[in-house]
Copies of this chain bind each other. A is one copy, B any other.
C-alpha cells in the first residue's frame, strides 16, 4: 500500500516516522515550514499535489478535515485521526464527500509538545488506536486504516463515533477542564502556594496543556463534555453546601465514591493501582543514587513499575519510591536492604 499523509504536525509526522521502511509514504502540509521539518526528519517524500494513492490519511485539526479531504484525488480510501469523531463525520456529509470511502480513527497518543519536531516513531506503540467506521464506511476503508494503525505498532479498537466521543469526554476532556479550573482558582486567589506538595503538582499537571489546541477539541465534542462538566460542577456545589451546613457525612460519601472511581482507573491494561505498592529508600540527593537503587532492584530481578522521586529542598537527602507489584514487595525490601540501601520502614 502507498500512503499520502496530509498534515505534518505531531501525529502526521510520527506516522511517517513509524512507517519508514514499511510503506511508501508521501507527505503534504499547507505550512511549508512544518513540511520541511517533517521531510528533513525522514518522515516521507514530498507529494507533488497530483499523484493518487491507495490510501490518504488526513492528520489535520478536526474542523479542517472535511475541507482537506474533499480536495484530495479520489479513487482510493481515506481516513483521518481527529480527536473527536461525530462532528467530523457530520462535516464530511455536509461537504459532499463520498463517505463510503472514509473511515475515521483516533490514535490515543500525544504529548504536551506539538509540531513535527516533537514527533517520534514510537508514539503509537502499544497504544489504543480507535477506528470509527460510520454505517456507510466500506470494508476497504476500514481495513486500510487498520493496517496503518498496526504498522505503527498501535492496537486497533473498533467503536462507533458516539462511543468514542463519550469515552474521550470522560477520560480526557473532563479531566482537562477540571485540572484547568482548579489551576485557575489557585491562580486567581493570589494566595501563597508555598505550602504546595506533590498532590497539587499531580492534580494540576495537565493544566499546562496548550489552550489553542484544546479549545478546538472541546468545541467539537461540546455535546459530550458539557453534561460531564455540569455533573462535576454539581458534585462540587453539593460538597460546598454540605461543608457550609456541617453535613460531613455527605462529604465523606463523596470521598468514598472518589475512592471507588479512582479504583476503576486502569494503570496497565488489566491491572489496577491497587496491585502496586511502594517501597521507599532514603538516599543522599545527588546524581547516581537513583541509578544505584534501580541497579540493585534489577540485580534482584525486581520489576519496577514506576518511580517517584521526592526531593527535600535545601537538604542533602531525598526519598525514592519504587512502585512494585504487591507480590514482589517483601522481596524488594529484602533485596534493597541487603544491597545496603536505607529502606524506609513501611
Across the interface, name the chain B residue whose C-beta is closest to A118. Answer: B346
Instruction: State the Cβ distance, A213 to closest chain B Cβ, in Å.
Output: 9
A264 at the interface (CB under 8 A from B): yes
Is A244 interfacial (CB-CB < 8 Å)? yes
Residue from B192, B246, B256, B269 in contact with A167 in the complex, judged by beta carbons closer than 8 Å: B192
Q: Does A226 contact B (CB under 8 A)?
A: yes
Q: Which of A188, A228, A301 has the most C-beta atoms of chain B within 10 angstroms of its own C-beta?
A: A228
Asked whether A232 is an interface residue with its Cβ less than 8 Å from the other chain, the reply is yes
Cross-chain contact of A201 among B125, B204, B265, B286 (Cβ < 8 A): B265
Q: What is the bound-complex CA distance between A238 and B77, given in angstroms? A: 42
For the complex formed, measure the closest distance between the CB of A161 and the CB atoms of chain B, giving whole angstroms.
14
The one of B41, B287, B294, B306 that contacts A291, using a Cβ cutoff of 8 Å: B294
Q: Does A302 contact B (CB under 8 A)?
A: yes
Contact A282 B122 (CB under 8 A): yes
A92 at the interface (CB under 8 A from B): no
Confirm or deny: A72 has a beta carbon within 8 angstroms of a beta carbon on chain B.
Answer: no
Q: Are A287 and B302 in contact (CB under 8 A)?
A: yes
Nearest B residue (CB) for A306: B309
Partner of A206, one of B202, B291, B311: B202
A258 with B179, Cβ < 8 A, contacts A153-B315, A243-B225 known: yes
Is A23 part of the binding interface, using a Cβ–Cβ cutoff of 8 Å? no
* A interface residues, tally (CB under 8 Å): 135
- A247-281 interface bits toward B, Cβ cutoff 8 Å, 1 = contact, 0 = none: 01001101111111111111111100100000010
In whole angstroms, what is the CA distance A263 to B182 when docked?
A: 13
Q: Is the CB of A287 within 8 A of B303?
A: yes
Q: How far is the CB of A137 from chain B (nearest CB, A)?
A: 20
Tell me the chain A residues, 199-215 only, with Cβ under 8 Å from chain B: 199-209, 211-212, 214-215
Asked if A128 is at the interface (CB within 8 A of a chain B CB), the reply is yes
Contacts of A219 in B (CB 8 A): 246, 248, 251
Task: Let me know if A194 and B273 touch, CB within 8 A.
Answer: no
CA distance A312 to B261 in the complex (A): 23
A151 within 8 A of B: no
Q: Residues of B contacting A206 with CB < 8 Å? A: 199, 202-203
Name A120's contact: one of B171, B263, B299, B345 (CB within 8 Å).
Answer: B345
- Partner among B195, B215, B286, B301 whose Cβ is within 8 Å of the Cβ of A108: B195
Residues of chain A having any CB pair with chain B under 8 Å: 41, 108, 110, 113, 117-120, 122, 125-128, 130, 153, 155, 157, 166-168, 170-172, 174-189, 191-197, 199-209, 211-212, 214-215, 218-219, 222, 225-237, 239-240, 243-244, 246, 248, 251-252, 254-270, 273, 280, 282, 286-288, 290-292, 294-295, 297-299, 301-309, 311-315, 317, 319, 344-346
| The 9 residue pairs across chains A and B that have the minimum distance between CB atoms | A187-B261, A126-B312, A180-B258, A291-B294, A183-B261, A288-B298, A211-B255, A126-B315, A233-B236
The 23 sampled A-B contact pairs (Cβ below 8 Å) are: A122-B312, A128-B195, A167-B191, A171-B186, A175-B204, A181-B254, A181-B258, A184-B254, A185-B261, A186-B264, A187-B262, A188-B231, A193-B265, A193-B266, A202-B203, A208-B273, A222-B243, A236-B236, A270-B313, A291-B295, A294-B294, A295-B295, A307-B307
